Amino acid sequence: MEIKEEGASEEGQHFLPTAQANDPGDCQFTSIQKTPNEPQLEFILACKDLVAPVRDSKLNTLVQISVIHPVEQSLTRYSSTEIVEGTRDPLFLTGVTFPSEYPIYEETKIKLTVYDVKDKSHDTIANSSRI
């Protein structure tokens, strides 16, 4: 798995043409400002070259996200992705977002566990195997 960082600017992008933006009489909204409720941590997940437990079988991949808090040292399930079917290189549409009020620190550990889901009809990963 690979984690990529994306930069974020402090100011929004201007959407009006320069001539219109410079005329205060016509200009009511020229930019989007950063909101105070932005997530504290946000990332997307993708896997590459996963190996199936049985040769030539199709993978149905799911990633479970757990958090280990520095004080308690206990593992807490936080969320999971959707199941991506039939590929060794899944790109998950479900991202992971920790809101600004979530107690996450530099010492917090995030555990990502990749599963090959055997039975998609149940709402559980019990019938799955780790990859």
For the chain, 131 residues long, give each residue's pLDDT as a single digit of tens: 444 444 444 444 344 445 544 555 554 544 444 456 677 889 999 999 998 877 778 899 999 999 998 888 889 999 999 999 999 999 999 999 999 888 888 899 999 999 999 876 655 554 455 66
Residue 22 included in any domain? no
Query: By residue range, what is the domain housing residue 79?
Result: 41-127
Contact criterion met (CB below 8 Å) for 112 and 1: yes
* Helix, strand, or coil (residue 19): helix
CB-CB neighbours of 84 under 10 Å: 21
Residue ranges of E strands in 1-131: 41-43, 60-68, 75-80, 84-85, 96-98, 109-117, 128-130
Structural domain total, the chain: 1
For residue 30, is it within any domain? no
Quick check: pTM over 0.85? Answer: no
Q: Is residue 80 part of a domain?
A: yes
Spatial CB neighbours of 80, under 8 Å, sequence gap ≥ 6? 62, 63, 64, 65, 94, 125
Considering the domain boundaries, does residue 84 fall inside one?
A: yes
